[in-house]
Amino acid sequence: MRVTAEAKESTRRKILDAAQGLFQTTGFEATTTRDIAKAAGIATGTLFNYFPTKEAIVTTLVVDSHARPTRRLANEQHESLEEALFAHAAAGLRLLKPYRKYLTPVLDTAMSPMVEAQRDDVGQSLRTDHLERVVELARQQGLDAALTPVALQMYWTLYLGVLSFWTNDKSPKQEDTLALLDQSLAMFVSWLRGGEEKSN
Amino acid sequence: MSLTAAELMQALPDVDDGDAALQTLPAVLKESSLRPVPVGRWRRMTLLSSLQAKIAAAYLFHWVRGWFKSADENSRLLAETHWRTAARVLDSMGYLRGAVMKMGQTLANFPDIAPREFVETLEKLHFDAPPMHWSLLREMVFNELGDDPENIFAEFDKQAFAAASLGQVHRARLKTGEEVAVKIQYPGIARTIGEDFRNLFLFMLPNRLGREWQNVREQFDDLRLRLEQETDYLLEAANLQQARSLFRDEDGIIVPRVYPQYSTARVLTMELVGGVHLDQFLARQPSQDERNEAATKMVRGWYRLMYAGRMLYNDFHPGNFLFLDDGRLGLIDFGYILPLDDELWELFRIMDRSLTTGLREDRITAMKAWSGLTDDTSDQMRLYEAFAEWTWCSRDADGPYDFGVEADFRRGVDLFTEMLRKRYSRGHRTTPTIARGNFGWRSLLYRLKAKLEIRPLAESEILATGWDRSDYARPISK
């Protein structure tokens, strides 16, 4: 049984690697599941045993990328919550960079704010992990009380908005995304602080 | 290197000439500079919206109309509104805030007089960006240079030590040990402002008023050119490298070395030049010799760039010069250089005769070639000739010229202000820039109270041009 599990993982990996290669060279839209299966050296039917859709493959790629440990996140000191959140979000962008151009289906499904209704475990973990870190950063800055579920939902929506902008950012080196992220986070934190002052 | 509100206030002249508008100026600037600086970056960024552009346009329209009325009938009425509205508009347009500071720097160069009109302010813009926190800086460096600053540099100071056009400057140390200044631009803002100006321009289209429109266009073109140049760090790097190659150790003039492997369009890494600014240099009460020496280097640097490099250095604001303890002079800002193309080079060659002989008839010939004017007796020609005479009179003098004489400097200020007021600076596309440059170096020498013999300096530097000057050049008497 152990061998079968390994073989399964190996096939899964082959599909993901083949898909990533094709997405980068051919583009997400132009790549078919048949192409992916062929590149992975398996039958198309076999592919569907692993991933029901092409979108599911991208989502898995994205989630896997987030599962890799990121450097320096744990103990870094930040002067403000906006700076801390920026570092966190920017680290996410770096991980997502290889998938930038075909991120839209992931945003529409797994990462969508409506994801709870879908009960998508894969997307859920991605969101939960990201937001848990946000809460921790807010706690370090003494702002966790302001971080209500609504505030977290708002943060996530902003973050997805930035990601969505990023997938289609045509500015040099996607510098506009950095400016948008900076401004969005500044707005969010100032809104959060406003709420904090009122509740005090 | 932005001035604080207090420094800005100090730079303002004492008002004693009874001009009501001038008397309100310090109050207006105080009011503007004391208003809380928008703290949240978000608020500042919302100021980039087109609403602000519309307010600015409304003001500009009013202002532009004023240019073509007679200054006498107009000035008293408009001067106060000009200052007040301009300060307010600039204050409200976050990234233009620096222009108010720039006014302060300009005024600091003219300790005895305030400009009567606001005419040159837009030409002297300095663009401001929101401050960048460390996380954003790191992403910019990562994006531009391919790795985190802590991996690229041995040390990187998280606190900026100076403001730059649309960005900020940080001290750092390379892994090879060199101390460097890293200039980083706020992402995307150059293009944002460019778009704002285009919108502003479109907004003004319905207000088109014939001849005035042409001048507005020119203002915008100047602004756009300056914005493009100042925000293109690759261009500045190229300027720095070209300029640096023109100087030798014995010149005592430093142009910082560029580190191209750590430089892109948005990040510029260059040698950190020590030294102090003009104010601190003067505060040490340097001797006449020390002041002359500093002034000599300033003029030599300017000529070297002009004659050997065909680069006209025009931005003579004091922050661009560093006075080192060992007597050397640092030239640090090459964001706005006018390249002397063949057309300008030919005009400079024609002007050289007049500069060298100091004869009025040569000056008029040169001014005609420059401006395209044909009428020797027009008011415009009178003013051009007078300003040129003032600008150049030190050049053909035998013996040291005393740049610190107040009455002489004031004559230049009056001529310059008159040119600005009458919009006569527009004889040639480059006249405003060049007139400002000429005025700028005279202002710095005035502040240095330098006594300098310019002719031998100019004669030695002009050799680099290879021009045949045999029929008018005079030998230097020892």
> What pLDDT shows up at residue B5?
32
- Show the tokens assigned to A3: 């061998």
> What pLDDT shows up at residue B444?
86
Q: Does A183 touch chain B (CB under 8 A)?
A: yes
Which residues does chain B have within 8 Å of residue A179's beta carbon, measured at their own beta carbons?
186-189, 192
> What pLDDT shows up at residue A4?
84
Q: Does A154 touch chain B (CB under 8 A)?
A: no
Does an H or E element contain A50, and which? helix A44-50
Tell me if B133 and A82 make a contact (CB, 8 A cut-off): yes
- Show the tokens assigned to A42: 């398996």
Chain centroid offset of residue B23 CA: 26
- Which candidate from A78, A171, A178 shows the least CB-CB separation from B139? A178
> What pLDDT shows up at residue A95?
86
Decide: A135 and A147 in contact? Cβ < 8 Å: yes
Task: Please check the confidence at residue A40 and state whether its pLDDT lies above 50.
Answer: yes
Nearest CA to CA, how far is A82 from chain B (Å)? 9
> What pLDDT shows up at residue B322?
94
Of the two residues A72 and B391, the one the predictor is more confident about is B391
Q: What mean pLDDT value characterizes chain A?
A: 82
Which residues does chain A have within 8 Å of residue B48's beta carbon, measured at their own beta carbons?
none
- Show the tokens assigned to A54: 């092409």
The reported pTM is 0.75
Which of A123-137, A155-169, B36-50, B269-283 has the weakest average pLDDT? B36-50
Task: Please check the confidence at residue A21 and state whether its pLDDT lies above 60.
Answer: yes
CA-to-CA dists, residue B462 to B226, B383, B466, B467, B468, angstroms:
28, 27, 8, 8, 11
Amino acid at B282: L
Nearest CA to CA, how far is A173 from chain B (Å)? 7
**Per-10-residue mean pLDDT for chain B, 478 residues long?**
31 35 41 37 36 37 38 47 45 42 38 34 47 92 94 94 81 97 87 63 51 56 71 93 97 97 96 91 95 96 96 83 95 89 93 91 90 84 90 89 88 76 65 77 88 94 94 77
Decide: A80 and A86 in contact? Cβ < 8 Å: no
> What pLDDT shows up at residue B216?
54
> What pLDDT shows up at residue B40?
35
Tell me if B134 and A178 make a contact (CB, 8 A cut-off): no
Nearest CA to CA, how far is B140 from chain A (Å)? 8
Decide: B315 and B355 in contact? Cβ < 8 Å: no
> What pLDDT shows up at residue B462?
95
| Model pLDDT for residues A43-68, shown as the tens digit of each residue | 989 999 999 888 888 888 887 777 66
Q: What is the ipTM of this complex?
A: 0.81
Q: Does B217 touch chain A (CB under 8 A)?
A: no
Tell me if B134 and A183 make a contact (CB, 8 A cut-off): no
> What pLDDT shows up at residue B103?
38
Name the residue among B363, B332, B119 with its Cα closest to residue B222. B119
Q: Compute the distance between CA of residue A180 and CA of residue A86 in angstroms, rounded to an integer.
A: 11
